[in-house]
């Protein structure tokens, strides 16, 4: 038994396929979905989403806020800004992270902090380290 | 004079030809962009559909639809209009259609005694309304060609701000629907308050599932509705972009056709002028040659050149005689 998983951003479908487990971080904490999970709607924070397909490498995505809906063995993840690990340019992300760290040192407004958090997540996801 | 006319025509044809090259290039570019824009419209659809479904499920699952974005105001004193058109012209009536529809709607709102607010997307809308002295609350340029989600988010944020602060009591969205590559239509849609009936109708079929919410349904809805508004605006902007390219392709195609026709007409006139000039020249040559050959052949010509003075005047005859002797 598997679930149908869709990771959708406004501009395109990032991932669509069968999977046996989805791990996400809602604003309350980490949550994992397995087959037969009760219907669920949650708001996602900034964090990783891990999709484990049947017999294959995990698909990791950086999700910067969004929503997850689970019902009838269908997992739908909606996110304004989401990137698959394989699509992240590590060097660019690293540069953005360095830049962000320098900026927040100078002035830590909310926007700079948010940008830093995004950059950190990107590097984390792309680098494969948690 | 004939040669001068030919030269003028040749220059004219050349300029029409270079114009044609430009319009042809624009036509091809627009044609290739239509396909891309259409793909973007299709790519954005799943998100919009899913987010609508989630809100529907949320409503069915017990979240009270009590968000300020959902409740129609009792008295509407000010209507906000969001006009989505292009930054560039040369797209036939594309911009004019949207601008006209918006202006008509504004006039209608005023006739009902309501105030209006205006948010322009695209340079053309901005310059039209500014020139005519309308007050523009916000305007966004350099995003109509290939709108990104971030652009839609900015516009939606401006609209939501005006709506939530109570400035606008209702927001109408005017944009061009992309029905097919051949048909686009200007549409006016209620953008805010969000039509809650529309949302409830799209909840997934089957018995309402008992959802768990994290955090509470009210909080999720509060965060979801702005995203929904953004997604709707984004879809409208993408359709508008596709329509823009389709309109431009059509306008440029007819411009190219016109140029072609004009070139044919002008070259015909030019050829006739050249032929006329050649004919005149030949006539002149023939006339001249005829005159010369006649002068050489005829003995009793009018131009008498073999008669001496002695033939005409008797007093010279003697003299001539003497001379001869």
State the pLDDT at residue A93: 78
Question: pLDDT tens digit string along A4-42?
Answer: 999 998 888 888 989 989 998 887 888 899 988 888 888
On chain B, the residues whose CB falls within 8 A of the CB of A67 are 51, 54, 220, 223-224, 227
Query: Does the pTM exceed 0.90?
Result: no
CA-wise closest residue to B245 among B88, B79, B68, B103 = B88
Q: Which residue of A has its CA nearest to B235?
A: A10
Q: What pLDDT shows up at residue B1?
A: 47
Q: Contact at 8 Å (CB) between B54 and A76?
A: yes
Instruction: Please report residues of A whose CB lies closer than 8 A to that of B223.
Output: 43, 67
Give contacts of B227 with chain A, Cβ < 8 Å.
67, 78, 80
Q: A3-85: which CATH architecture?
A: Sandwich (2.60)
List domains and CATH numbers for chain B: 21-206+225-259 (3.40.1380.10)
What is the signed CA dihedral for B169, B175, B179, B183, rounded to 10 degrees? 140
Model pLDDT, residue B87 = 92
Within 8 A of B56 by CB-CB distance, chain A residues are: none
The predicted pLDDT at position A12 comes to 85
The tens-digit pLDDT sequence of chain B (325 residues) is 456 888 899 999 999 999 999 999 999 999 999 999 999 999 998 898 888 888 888 777 666 667 788 888 888 899 999 999 999 889 989 999 999 999 999 999 999 999 999 999 999 999 999 999 999 999 999 888 889 998 999 999 999 999 989 899 999 999 999 998 889 999 999 888 887 776 666 555 544 567 888 787 788 888 888 898 999 999 999 999 999 999 999 999 999 999 999 999 999 999 999 999 899 999 999 999 888 887 665 555 555 566 666 677 767 666 555 555 4
Query: Could you tell me which chain A residue has the CA closest to the CA of B59?
Result: A41
Chain B: closest CA distance from residue A127 (Å): 26
Q: Could you tell me the residue ranges of all domains in chain A?
A: 3-85, 88-127
Q: Where are the alpha helices (DSSP H) in chain B?
A: 2-60, 94-111, 123-131, 149-164, 196-201, 217-297, 309-312, 314-324
What is the distance between the alpha carbons of residues B242 and B286, in angstroms, rounded to a whole number?
A: 65
Q: Which residue from A8, A43, A72 is facing B46, i.e. has the nearest CB?
A: A8
pLDDT more than 70, % of chain A = 95
Closest Cβ opposite residue B43 in set A11, A69, A80: A11
- Contact across the interface for A27 and B214, Cβ inside 8 Å: yes
ipTM: 0.79
pLDDT confidence of residue B299 = 56
pLDDT at A87: 77
Q: Going edge to edge, which strands form the sheet with B115-121? A: B138-140, B115-121, B78-84, B170-178, B184-192
The mean predicted confidence, pLDDT, of chain B is: 86
| Interstrand relation of A82-84 and B78-84 (parallel, antiparallel or unpaired) | unpaired
* pLDDT the model gives residue A130: 39
| Matching residue, tokens 């069915």 | B60
- Choose, out of A31, A38, A41, the residue to mutate when testing the contact with B (most B CBs < 10 Å): A41
pLDDT tens figures, A50-95: 898 888 788 888 888 889 999 888 899 999 888 887 777 777 778 8
């Amino acid at each position: 038994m598997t679930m149908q998983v869709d990771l959708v951003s406004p501009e395109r479908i990032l991932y669509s396929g069968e999977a046996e487990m989805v791990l996400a971080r809602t604003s309350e904490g980490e949550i994992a979905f397995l087959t037969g999970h009760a219907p669920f709607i949650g708001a996602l924070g900034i964090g990783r989403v891990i999709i484990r397909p049947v017999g294959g490498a995990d698909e990791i995505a950086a999700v910067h806020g969004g929503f997850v809906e689970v019902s009838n063995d269908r997992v739908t993840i909606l996110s304004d800004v989401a990137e698959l690990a394989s699509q992240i340019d590590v060097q660019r992300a690293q540069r953005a992270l360095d830049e962000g760290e320098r900026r927040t040192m100078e002035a830590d407004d909310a926007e700079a902090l948010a940008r830093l958090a995004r950059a950190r997540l990107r590097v984390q996801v792309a680098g494969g380290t948690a | 004079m004939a040669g001068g006319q030919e030269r003028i025509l040749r220059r004219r044809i050349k300029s029409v030809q270079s114009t044609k090259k430009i319009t042809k290039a624009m036509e091809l570019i627009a044609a290739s962009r239509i396909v891309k824009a259409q793909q973007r419209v299709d790519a954005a659809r799943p998100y919009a559909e899913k987010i609508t479904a989630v809100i529907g499920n949320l409503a069915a699952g017990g979240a009270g639809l009590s968000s300020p974005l959902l409740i129609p105001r009792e008295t509407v004193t000010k209507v906000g209009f969001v006009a989505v058109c292009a930054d560039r012209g040369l797209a036939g009536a594309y911009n004019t259609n949207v601008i006209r529809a918006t202006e008509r709607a504004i006039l209608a709102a005023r006739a009902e005694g309501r105030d209006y607010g205006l948010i322009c997307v695209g340079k053309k809308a901005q310059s039209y309304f500014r020139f005519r002295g309308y007050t523009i609350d916000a305007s966004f340029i350099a995003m109509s060609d290939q709108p990104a989600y971030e652009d839609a988010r900015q516009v939606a944020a401006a609209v939501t701000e005006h709506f939530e602060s109570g400035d606008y009591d209702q927001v109408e969205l005017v944009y061009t629907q992309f029905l097919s590559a051949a048909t686009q239509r200007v549409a006016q849609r209620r953008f805010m308050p969000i039509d809650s009936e529309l949302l409830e109708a799209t909840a997934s079929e089957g018995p309402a599932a008992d959802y768990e919410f994290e955090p509470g349904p009210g909080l999720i809805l509060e965060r979801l509705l702005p995203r929904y508004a953004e997604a709707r605006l984004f879809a409208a902007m993408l359709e508008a972009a596709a329509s823009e390219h389709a309109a431009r392709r059509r306008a440029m195609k007819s411009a190219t056709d016109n140029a072609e026709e004009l070139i044919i007409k002008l070259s015909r006139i030019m050829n006739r002028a050249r032929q006329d000039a050649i004919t005149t020249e030949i006539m002149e040559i023939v006339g001249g040659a005829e005159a010369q050959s006649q002068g050489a052949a005829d003995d009793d010509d009018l131009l008498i050149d073999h008669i001496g003075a002695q033939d005409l005047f008797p007093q010279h005859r003697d003299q001539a005689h003497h001379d001869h002797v």
